[in-house]
Amino acid sequence: MKWTKLLPTASRRFFWVSVSLSLVSLPPLWLYLYDGNTTYLSYYLSSPFRIFSSTSSSTYTVPTHIQEHALTFESLKLAHLKSSAYSPTWYPVHLGYAAPLETLNPQIEGYVDRLRQLVDKWFDGIPSRLYLHDSLNRLALHLPPLDHEEKLLKRVVSTDKNGLEGTPQVFRGWEELGWDVFVADDNGMEDMFDWLIQGNGRGSKKFWNVWDSLPKKIMKSDVLRYLVLLQEGGIYTDADTAPRAHPYHWGHGAENRLPPQIASYLSLNNLSFPLHGQSISDPGVSVLIGGEYNAWVENKMGDWRGGEHDIIRSFQLCQWTMMAKPFHPIFIDVVVSIMEMLEQAKEEGKLDGSKISEITGPGPFTDAVFRYLLSAYGITPPNLYEPQTPSLIGDIIILPAYALGFPPEQYDANQFDAKETWNRPVMHSYRGVWKSGG
Q: Where are the domains of the chain?
A: 67-152+204-436
Query: 239 with 159: CB under 8 angstroms?
Result: yes
pLDDT at 269 over 70: yes
Q: How confident is the model at residue 250 (pLDDT cuts 50, 70, 90)?
A: very high
pLDDT score for 348 = 96
Query: 227 with 204: CB under 8 angstroms?
Result: no
pLDDT score for 1 = 33
Query: 194 with 7: CB under 8 angstroms?
Result: yes
pLDDT at 8 over 90: no
Q: How confident is the model at residue 433 (pLDDT cuts 50, 70, 90)?
A: low
Reported as a single tens digit per residue, the pLDDT across 78-90 is 999 999 999 999 9
Q: How confident is the model at residue 385 (pLDDT cuts 50, 70, 90)?
A: confident
70 or 437, greater pLDDT? 70
pLDDT at 3 over 90: no
pTM for this entry: 0.85
161 or 387, greater pLDDT? 161
Region 2-11: what's the mean pLDDT?
36
Burial class (CB within 10 angstroms; exposed 0-12, middle 13-18, buried 19+) of 186:
middle
pLDDT at 308 over 80: no
Distance, CA of 346 to CA of 119 (rounded, Å): 20
pLDDT score for 279 = 86
Distance, CA of 69 to CA of 271 (rounded, Å): 8
Reported as a single tens digit per residue, the pLDDT across 12-34 is 223 333 333 333 333 333 333 33
pLDDT at 262 over 80: yes
98 or 11, greater pLDDT? 98
pLDDT score for 60 = 63
Q: What mean pLDDT is reported for the chain?
A: 82
Reported as a single tens digit per residue, the pLDDT across 391-430 is 999 999 999 888 887 655 544 444 445 556 667 789 887 6
pLDDT at 242 over 50: yes
Q: What is the CA radius of gyration of the chain?
A: 21
